[in-house]
Structure 1
Amino acid sequence: MTPVAEIEVMDRPSLVALWQDLFGGQPPKSLSRPVLRRILAFEVQARSRGGLPRGFVAKLERAAGEAAPKRSPEMQPGARLLREWNGVTHVVDVTEQGYRWREQTWRSLSVIAREITGAHWSGPRFFGLTGRAGG
C-alpha cells in the first residue's frame, strides 16, 4: 500500500501521530478527518518529490506578506477624527482614556462606528484609518 493509500484508511489517532511526525506539533482540533487526510497526503507527496519548488515557496511568502492586514496608525491623544454619515458630521477626539464622542468616552472606535451606523463596522476602517471607508 502506498503512503497516501494508508492515510486514507487511518483513524484519527493515527492521523494525529503522522501530523506530529511531519509537522512537529498537534493539528488544530477543528480539522476534520477528511481535511487532515488531504493535508497529510499533500505533504507526504510533496516531500516524496523533494518538497515544493523554491520559486513557488517564494511566491507564497510574498503573497502572504502582501495580504497581511494593515494596522491603523497608533492614535496620539489630541488627534481628532471626522466622519460624515447620513448628513451628520461626527467628531471623535482621541484622549488618554480612549475616544471621546458625544460627551462620552469609549474604549473602541468600532463601538462608536456601530453606534453611528447601527451595523458592525471596523472602527479604524469607518473613520478612514485603514482601507476604504464606505458610506
Structure 2
Amino acid sequence: MGASRAAQPLPPPRTAPTFPSIPPADVLGRLAALKGTPTAGLKQQWRELFGKEPPPFNRAYLVSRLAYRIQELAYGGLKPETRARLEALGEQLDGGNVVLRRIRADSRPLAGTRLIREWQGVEHAVTVLQDGFEYEGRPYRSLSAVARHITGTRWNGWTFFGLKGGRGNG
C-alpha cells in the first residue's frame, strides 16, 4: 500500500452573507436617489444589498428591485406566513408545473391596460382583456390581429405596440 495522507483541514463553515442595515429614516432619500443614479452605481448597490452580481436586465428592473430591497432591509421582509400563503396561491395557479412557473408572469400586460399607438397620424387604443384584446369595441384574440387591422399588413403585435419580447397571444 502507499503512504497515508495527512488529514486535510476542514474548510471554514460557510456563513450567511451580512447586508447593511438601512435606517427607516434613510429609505425615502435612498429611493429618490435611485432615479438619478448611473447604471454602474445601481449595479454597485446591487452587489452591496444582494451580495451577488446584478442580473443583465434593464435599468428599470434594477431600480425597482433595489427599491424593494432597500425597503426590505429597513422594514423587514415578508413574514413566513405570507410567503407560505403566496407559495400556496402559486401552486393553485400553476398546479406545481415547474415549466409554467419559469414563464414570466408579466410577459402579458394586465387586463384593463390600455395600449396606445400612433399610426399614420391617428392614435389607436387597445384594451387588454383577460382572454384577448379589444379594439374599437371588437374583441381580438391577438395583438397581431389588431395590428393587421390597423395597418393592413402583417405585423408582430408585440412589436407594433412597443412590447418587444412579450410572449404569447401574438
Would you call these one fold, judging by a TM-score over 0.5? no
TM-score class normalised by the smaller sequence:
0.3 to 0.5
Give TM-score scaled by structure 2 length. Answer: 0.35
